[in-house]
Structure formats: C-alpha cells, structure tokens
Amino acid sequence: MFSIVSKEYLVGELIPAVYYPNRMHSMRCSSHDLALLLTVLAIGLLVDFDLGLEIEVAQLYIRLAWSTALLPALPTIATVKCLHLMNIYHGMAGDKYDSHRLLISAWQCLHYIKLHEDPDIKAIKNEEAYDRRAYFWNLLQPILWQSLMTGILPSVLETPHECYVLSEQDEKDYDKREAVGFGAWSSKFTYQCLRPVTIAVIDPNPPDYKHILALDERIRTFPIPSSSPNSSDLPSIMQHFIYSHYREHVLMFLHRDSFKQTLTDNPMDPLTSTRGYSFTTTYESACVVLDSTINLYAKAKYHVPKIWRIWANAFCATVDDVLRRRRIVAHHIFGNCFQVVIGAVAVLTPNVKLEPCPLRKLEDACALFEVKASCASSALPKVLETFDSALRSAGQVVPMRHVTHLTADLQGDNIVFEDTWSVRLYEEVMQAAQAHISD
C-alpha cells in the first residue's frame, strides 16, 4: 500500500497539511486529502498485527472518510487514491460489493482527470512523472485481476497516449523503498502479459488455441527477477512471494477454460485431449501457488493471516471452477483458482498419474487452511469437503485428523467464490464424487 501513498508523502506532506494548514510551504488540503488520510489510518488499524480484524476505531475512521469524501471538491489524484484505498479496506473487511465498486470508481476517476495520460504530454518530468506512471500501473493491475475474477472488463482498458511502462533507471533514481512492490518489472509484465491474458480470457469470442499457446510462451519467457528474502523484513518476504508464483498465477487463468474443456473431452484421461497441455499447465501452476503460500506462511505466520488476498488465491488454486454456480462471493475470499483446480484433478481424475500427487497436494491445502486465521478458517470446511470427496473417489480412508472438521455446517459458511468459473467447477466435482459413491 506504500506504492499508493508513500510514507514520505504521508509524513512529510499530507499529515502536516491536515494538522498545520497555515504552515509556510504546506500543501493546500482539500476534503479529499483529509478523506485519504482517514482511509490510511483505517487500514493501518485494520492490519495492526497486535489487534483483531474487527476494530471499532478503524470502522469509525472509514465512516469519517466516507463522510469527508462526499463533501464537494474538485477530483484530484487524492480522490483516486482515496477510492483505491477504500477498495482495499472494504475488501479486507469482507465487503465485496463496495470493494469492487470503489475500484471501478477509482479507475473511472483516474481517466476523468486524465491521469492515465503519460506525463510527457503535459511536460511533467523527473520524480513527479515517475510517481504518476507508477501509480497508473499500480491501479491497472488490480483492475485486471478483478476483471479476471468477475469476467467483466472495465469500460476503458486501453487508450491512446497512456502512461509508458516504468524504466529501471527511473525506478532506481526515484523509488525510495528498499523492496519495490510495483516497479519496472511489474509494469512491463502487466503490459506484456497480464493485460493481453485478461482480454483473451474475457473476450466473448475466445481466441483460438494457437493464440493461447503464444501467450503461454510469452509469459514463460518473461524474465522473473531473482530475490533472496530477508527473513526479518516483511516487504522483502512479500516481494519474494510475488516473484515465486506470479507467472504461474497468470498461466492458471490463461489456461483455465482449456483445463475445463479437457475434463469435458475425456474426464477419465484429460491428458489425451487436444488441449492436454492446458490440463497439466493449470494443475502444475496451481501447485506452485499453493507451495508458495505455504512457504510464505512458514516465514511470516504472524503477518500473513490478515492479508486476505493471499488466502483467496490459495483457495482458488485448490478448489477452483467447479464451485461457481451456487455462491458467487465470500467474506475474506477474493480469488478461487488454485484450490479448485487441485480439488477438481483429485476428485474427477483419480486414475491420472500426475506429479506432484493431487491427493497429497490437496492434503497440504487442508493443513494450510487449518491455521487460526479468519480468512483461512472460513474456507476450511469447503477444502475439507473437497478432500473427503477426493479420498472417497480414490477409494481411500479419510485421515482421522480431518474427521472432526468434516461435520462443519457447509450450508451456513461464509465462503463466497469470486468468479463463476470456480463455482461451476466445484459443483461438477462434488456431483461427480457423489455419483462415484452411489455406483
């Protein structure tokens, strides 16, 4: 979040402007600047690792931010960033509807004030130009991920004269953070890989399989920076986490429809499908996302539970598309691809030999979601239900250490699948498992 509002700007400019408005050389503070500060404070309280998720003071700050943001003022970059951070707050608080709506509003406001245009057009140079470009790509990335989850593209996705990607030299000159979360590499990957994948996946007229394979090759050949995380530095750990699975996360979405097609073509042996490559790619990518999440939790188990998107993506890779028709979104869960994928492979194709073993990876997911985090515990019953069905399909006995969880009330849980693809896949998995047991 420091890539949205830097610590230097927060401490050096925004706070003094709010508390000392008449100080010499202080920036002028509008109601939207105040709303931005209040939203930052609300998020700060929400992610305070010494406090719980439900914090009355954080709720007070966000209500004040809403009230202040509604006061009449000309929209500025502070307006866009306030909406963006409100999106993050409501996502972490489990309010999916407001979270999605606020992100789209931020994107629309950014275009309204023409912040999407490259600074060169207005002769803006140096650090200010870098900050504007960095923020454009920082906002575009979640817009694309939200589009992949919901299946809806924003009204404006590509425009003439949009911001250039960041250069390594500008990042080195102007980015003051030690661990860069959204720098030159991320903007280039978004431009060359993530946006084309989003357009291809959501296009009502899907591209042919050759185009999917061409995007696959582009993603695989895109260089991933090497990183050696400092075990005591959370930003460094998180940067390493992103690098360790980001490519596979995008590949998983690129191939997910083809993965589904292979299960339709030959559910007993999807590897024989003409799109069998997508089946193995989606499964292997889901395993990488799961392993990356497990490794992250081992390194930062006191910090990870409050970062809800991590659990969402992990849940996605384990129990994906078969889950979609009945429930469309859940508290604290934002993605659903890797979990559904591994669950689908384990339940629907028990006789297909894959490495790593789907049953073992699904059990790893169960162990991960047994941690004491509200984001994870809400998903645990669904993961265990999938694991139970997979074991029964394979003719194996449910491990005793999981039995106590299998009686959980699965009708009243708060799991919601962000994307309808995952809901459909999950339901098909469970139907196939029930049919197998009946036989």
Q: Which residue has the higher pLDDT, 179 or 403?
A: 179
**Residue 70 contacts residue 90 (beta carbons within 8 Å):** no
pLDDT of residue 150: 82
Does 346 lie in the same domain as 267?
yes
In 124-155, which positions are buried (b, 16+ CB within 10 angstroms) versus exposed (e)? beeeebbbbbbbbbbbbbbbbbbbbbbeebee
What CA–CA distance (Å, rounded) separates 33 from 15? 10
Averaged confidence pLDDT in the chain = 75
DSSP codes joined into one string, 52-77: -S--HHHHHHHHHHHHHHTS-----H
Tally of helices (H runs) and strands (E runs) in the chain: 20, 0
- What element of type H or E holds 137? helix 126-150
User: Residue 257 has which token pair?
Assistant: 């429809």
pLDDT of residue 304: 61
**Residue 412 contacts residue 381 (beta carbons within 8 Å):** no
Does 40 lie in the same domain as 77?
yes
Q: Tell me, yes or no, if the pTM score tops 0.85.
A: no
For the chain, what is the domain count? 3
Question: What residue numbers bound the domain in which 223 lies?
Answer: 209-439
Based on its alpha-carbon atoms, the radius of gyration of the chain, rounded to whole angstroms, reads 22
Does 122 lie in the same domain as 91?
no
What CA–CA distance (Å, rounded) separates 28 from 352? 65
User: Residue 71 has which token pair?
Assistant: 């006061």
Q: What single DSSP character describes residue 10?
A: I
Does 404 lie in the same domain as 272?
yes
Does 439 lie in the same domain as 388?
yes
pLDDT tens, position by position, 21-40? 766 556 778 899 999 999 99
pLDDT tens, position by position, 267-295? 788 999 999 999 999 999 988 888 888 88
Q: Is the peptide bond before 305 cis (omega within 30 degrees of 0)?
A: no
Does 430 lie in the same domain as 291?
yes
pLDDT tens, position by position, 311-349? 555 545 554 433 332 222 222 222 345 557 877 787 778
Does 151 lie in the same domain as 106?
no
Does 224 lie in the same domain as 163?
no
